[in-house]
Structure formats: C-alpha cells, structure tokens
Amino acid sequence: VGGGLQTAKLYGAHGAVREHVRLPAVVRWTAPEVILADVSESSPVDARKAVDVFALGVVLAELVSGGAPFPDEPEDDAVAARVLEGQRFSTQPRKAGDAFGAGTEAAHVVEEMTRLAQACWVPEPSVRPS
C-alpha cells in the first residue's frame, strides 16, 4: 500500500456520481479493498500482504498477456469502478512463443501463471494465496 493519491469519481448505473474517493496512483494494480479504503498502512500485516498478493496477480497477468491492465480504459476512476464491479484483467496469452517459447512446457507455464493470477484476485483477501 503506498504511492500518491488522486481523487476519483465513481459513477452509478445512470451516470450519477455515486461517491468521491481517493485512489492510489497505481490503481491498475490496486486491490479492491484499498480502493474502498478498507486497508491502509496501519492495517494488520495479513491485510497488507493480501493487497500485495492481488498486485502480484496483476503482474502475472501482464506477463501472460503482454499488456497492461485494462489497456482500453484511459481513466483510472473508470478502472477503479470496473475492479469494484468484479472485473479482472485479461489473461489471454500473447502469441505462442512470444515470451515463454513454444511447446507443451511453455503452455504449462502459461496455464500455471494464469491459475495463480486468478487465485490472487479472489474478492475475499483472506482466501488469496499467501
């Protein structure tokens, strides 16, 4: 948990501003509980570890997909809203052989990284890998 903060507006279903929140500067790698301000520097260590595990899942997805989280969304407040809605990032592998070589072993690595990334994103922080 760290980095600068920025103000964001989260919009409801009909375009009305639902709430103003302070977002971390690296919102694309930020766990939902941080966006909701349920975790901070003063939170218990286990809660902070779960936040880091979520971010690890995002990095794993980047390695598999070859792209940043939500590349189609330029606005961080919209990314925050998507994360809070339960949307996650693409783990669609880049072209075969780009990062991990070709063959069965490379496919296995991609499958395992995808599985781990998805485990890191479960909504309940206490269920994430440790």
In the chain, domain spans: 5-127
Whole-model pTM over 0.75? no
Name residues whose C-beta falls within 8 Å of residue 29's C-beta, 6 or more positions apart in sequence: 54, 55, 58, 59, 69
**Burial of residue 82, with CB atoms counted within 10 A of its CB: 0-12 exposed, 13-18 middle, 19 or more buried:** middle
- CATH hierarchy code of domain 5-127: 1.10.510.10
| 8-65 confidence digits (pLDDT tens) | 444 444 554 445 555 556 888 889 988 887 666 666 777 889 999 999 999 999 888 8
